[in-house]
Amino acid sequence: MPTALVARSISSFWRSCSSKMSSPKVVDMRSDTVTTPTVAMRAAMADATVGDDVYGDDPTVLSLQNKMAALLGKEAGLFFPTGTMSNLAALMSHAREKGDEIILGDRSHISIWEQGSISCLGGIFPRQVRNNPDGTLDLDELVSKIHPGGHDGHYCLTKAIVIENTSNYCCGAPIGLDYMEDLASIAKKYRLKIHVDGARIFNAAVALGVEPKELVKHAETVSVCLSKGLGAPVGTLLLGTRETIDRCHRIRKVLGGGMRQVGVLAAPALVAMETVLPLLGRDHENARRFATGISALNEFGLKVDVERVRTNMVLFSIEREDLGAGKFCELLEDENSTKSPPFLRAKMLPQGSRQIIRAVLHHQISSDDVDAVIEKMRNVLSIKY
Ligand SMILES: *Cc1c(COP(=O)(O)O)cnc(C)c1O
């Protein structure tokens, strides 16, 4: 090929790349896990002092574990790659014999979204109790399902109760202090441990206006995600007594979660605690703003219960003959689906039915983004399909 032609084809190649690079704005509301590390987080990763964490030698990890333990009023903390592994290790430490059981909500993350790990890897039987729409477990039903032991060999032995706070499936509902008191008195009576799956415990604390440590004071173990609303790229911390955390340290190793110079992951989490944690309230305001915007689209077939939006999640439904949740989400994600601006790509997820859609707010979505997405929704909805 003559040189001039080669040059021209290279230049057209680059032009096509750069037109792709100036692609439209994406507002990703699928989850609060989609955040990307901030400049400060990346700088902290590059600068992190590290050591071999399997030997307990990584100062950055130790610092993160200690900070979070102090914030949640627990003796010790342990860094896990994921919340799934942290929940599993905590429950394996509470229910140690094969066939021991734990009580948990039928709409909990552990019941629905963790591949039954407590059964298939932990040998634990999951006794499910119905989740109320506010995320709580019905306490009468819960008590009726406890098998505290004794001479009757028919039953599993109940060892722990799991509460998820906020409750993911129940629109991010925060569970308050009064409920935790009632639960604690039951747990005490039957000598059961409480594990809080607190992936979003700080969202709960902010929404309820209480200290995070108050919310988990009756919990033997608490699991807190760093990579949800806090915006860190990776990780979950498990907090509890020194003794329990030491046991979980062994369990983490057998699950394959012992990592080495993991301070590079703890460093951005420390930045997240300092810079993103104080902003969670803004996500809740933006969630309300989004829900209020949706409620103004009622005439186009959208329905939302604005009062139910207490933290950073919004559940709404689309009730139209010509448009289901899946198709609606596809249209929102296509920048060219309408003729008028804004030409952005808004991402949300249909949740389990033809009509329900979930949107989650996080620190990389602004109130202007929310308004633009509402405008895009209005444009998409005003077309007949
Ligand atoms: C995200 C989440 C987890 C853990 O998720 P991983 O993706 O394994 O980190 C656990 N519980 C709840 C409630 C969650 O939202």
Cα 361 from Cα 127, distance rounded (Å): 32
Residue 38 pLDDT class (50, 70, 90 cuts): very high
Return the closest-CA partner of residue 107 out of 91, 128, 83, 127.
Answer: 128
The overall average pLDDT reported for the chain is 94
pLDDT digits (tens, 9 = 90+) for 309-320: 999 999 999 999
Measured in whole angstroms, the distance separating CA 20 from the mean position of its chain's CA atoms is 31
Indicate if the pLDDT at residue 10 is higher than 70: no
Which two three-digit tokens encode residue 64? Answer: 């993160």
pLDDT digits (tens, 9 = 90+) for 327-343: 999 999 999 999 999 99
CB within 8 Å of 360: residues ≥ 6 apart: 29, 30, 31, 32, 172, 312, 313, 314
CB 194 within 8 A of CB 161: yes
* Furthest CA-CA distance within the chain: 90
Residue type, 231: G
Helix runs in 231-315, H state only: 242-254, 263-275, 280-295
166 lines ligand 1 (CB under 6 A): no
86 lines ligand 1 (CB under 6 A): no
Indicate if the pLDDT at residue 4 is higher than 90: no
Measured in whole angstroms, the distance separating CA 22 from the mean position of its chain's CA atoms is 31
311 lines ligand 1 (CB under 6 A): no
Dihedral class, residue 99 (left if φ above 0, else alpha if ψ from -120 to 50, else beta): left
Q: How far is the CA of 224 from the centre of ligand 1 (A)?
A: 9
Q: Specify the DSSP element, H or E, that contains 137.
A: none
Q: To the nearest whole percent, how much of the chain has pLDDT over 70?
A: 94
Nearest CA residue ID for atom 14, ligand 1: 199
198 lines ligand 1 (CB under 6 A): no
Q: How far is the CA of 82 from the centre of ligand 1 (A)?
A: 7
Helix crossing, 367-381 with 325-333: angle to 10°? Answer: 120
What's the mean pLDDT in 237-242? 98
Instruction: Write out the DSSP string of 51-110.
Output: --GGGT--HHHHHHHHHHHHHTT-SEEEEES-HHHHHHHHHHHH--STT-EEEEETTSHH
Question: What pLDDT does residue 354 have?
Answer: 85
317 lines ligand 1 (CB under 6 A): no
What's the mean pLDDT in 279-290? 98
